[in-house]
Amino acid sequence: MIRKIKILTIAFAMVMVVPLAARANGLPVFTELAATAGKAVAFISTEKTATGDPGRQFRQQVPEGHPFREFFEQFDQFFGQQGQQPRIQRGQGSGFIISSDGLIVTNNHVIDGADKVTVKFQDDKKEYVAEVVGADKETDLAVIRIKADHPLPTLKFGDSDALQVGEWVVAIGNPYGLDNTVTAGIISAKHRIIGAGPFDNFLQTDASINPGNSGGPLLNMQGEVIGINTAINAAAENIGFAIPSSQAANVIDQLKQGKTPQRGWLGVTIQRVSETQAKALGLPEPTGALVASVGKGHPADKGGVKQGDVILQVNGKKVDDNNDLLKKIAGLAPGDKANLVLWRNGKRVKKTVILGQRGDKTLASMIPNGKDKLATDTVLGMELSPITEQEAQALGLEKAYGLLVVSVDQTTPAGKEGIRQGDVIVQANQQDVNSVDELKGVIERDKKRGAVMLLIKRQGQNSFVALPLDK
């Protein structure tokens, strides 16, 4: 089994140190590594009971009047009840043993929702029934356990941070049910963000990975697990992704104890800082994470973080962008102190936040609704007017404030940046603006920056848009 995202998935592992691969004619030979590490690779099969009619969605897409429409309706009439009968869905994946008593690492998507999980090994004809010890959807990791009557071979984790692009790696898994398949390649890139989840930080490899490799180990030349194969680019050839061992190890330590992973929580929504926004904010470079909103009563709110702040550092470590901030905060535990360095009104400000617990409830509490929703982009070249009480009511505003965008010249920066008719400009460079004169005053005051950053409300949502200013 492998997950599709625009990409498919595979997985991760721990490794038993084996001798360095031999070299022939300057090229590595993987025979010893494959033979040794392969003994600890698990081939996972799953069964899930499903109900419902798998063809109903397709039939509903057939338009009225189409010759097949009547056929499908008659089919439903006579055979529809049969389509509702329970049926077995089967899947496959990979994993690897991390303890001799039977703990196995795999991907969450391999075992998610399964009624039965079974495991086989390369040199063992026996089939083992596994139980799920713990799983984490956000990192797509899981730990399962089998009971064997003898100690099992294991793999150990290596240091994925020490990997360099161009190093040889080996993947072992169960692609398309072809167990004990060994492929080799190199590390093509590190720190890839592919949209698979909130903690994207993948290793990219050209070692052949296919559906069924999910959860299997990506090994360095010492036979150590430096990645868990998790995804592939379905539109490309030999572009695979693995969760780095350095990121997975802490999560797996918690999962194998049956614990839910504990992650820090700020309670803010954030976005990347663009070059134009950096100019508008007076930042020397586009770095850090821009705070688009702060959840009322959440840790950041209690710690004094404000909308429009840029978070530059966490506990003395530089924040590169919004993704980097998310990883740094999630890497801390609930109750930990996060000493933040913020950029506010052209100055560095220090704040300390006591982190909360990241989880489904806290995430749901930040989903925008009504007047607190967040929005997308906006820009200059606009016809503006103060908002009337009627307009404020129609736009869902609590009161008449800000400037209404009456029209936008699409040839100007505002139009090109996506500002629309009906948008409301609430702030300019973090100062409230309720008249055209106030907006002009902010632009005149800060024109040396070369840009102005607007806080725009659209359909109840907030978003920052930076517009360049003519010198």
The residue from 45, 94, 140, 463 that is catalytic is 140
Of 56, 173, 48, 57, nearest to 118 by C-alpha is 48
Q: What is the pLDDT of residue 420?
A: 79
Domain boundaries 371-468, CATH class: mainly beta
* Confidence label for 19 from pLDDT (cuts 50, 70 and 90): very low
* Confidence label for 14 from pLDDT (cuts 50, 70 and 90): very low
Would residue 246 show up in a list of annotated catalytic residues for this protein?
no
The residue from 94, 214, 293, 463 that is catalytic is 214
Per-residue pLDDT tens over the stretch 100-124: 999 999 999 999 989 999 999 987 8
Would residue 214 show up in a list of annotated catalytic residues for this protein?
yes
Of 321, 298, 324, 295, nearest to 310 by C-alpha is 321
Would residue 109 show up in a list of annotated catalytic residues for this protein?
yes
Share of the chain above pLDDT 90, in %: 40
Give mean pLDDT, residues 358-374.
Answer: 49
d(CA 117, CA 132): 8
Mean pLDDT of the chain: 81
User: What's the CATH number of domain 264-365, 2.30.42.10, 3.20.20.60, 1.20.1050.10, 2.60.40.1180?
Assistant: 2.30.42.10
Please name the residues in contact with 78: beta carbons below 8 A apart, sequence gap of 6 or more.
Answer: none
Q: Is the pTM here over 0.75, yes or no? A: no
Q: What is the pLDDT of residue 102?
A: 94
pLDDT of residue 374 exceeding 80: no
Cβ–Cβ < 8 Å for 6, 196: no
The residue from 45, 94, 109, 324 that is catalytic is 109
Residue 402 has which token pair?
A: 């800000």
More confident residue, 282 or 53: 282
What is the residue extent of each domain of the chain? 1-51+86-261, 264-365, 371-468
Domain 1-51+86-261 has CATH 2.40.10.120: yes
Could you check whether 1-51+86-261 and 371-468 share the same CATH topology? no
Q: What is the pLDDT of residue 360?
A: 55
* Confidence label for 199 from pLDDT (cuts 50, 70 and 90): confident
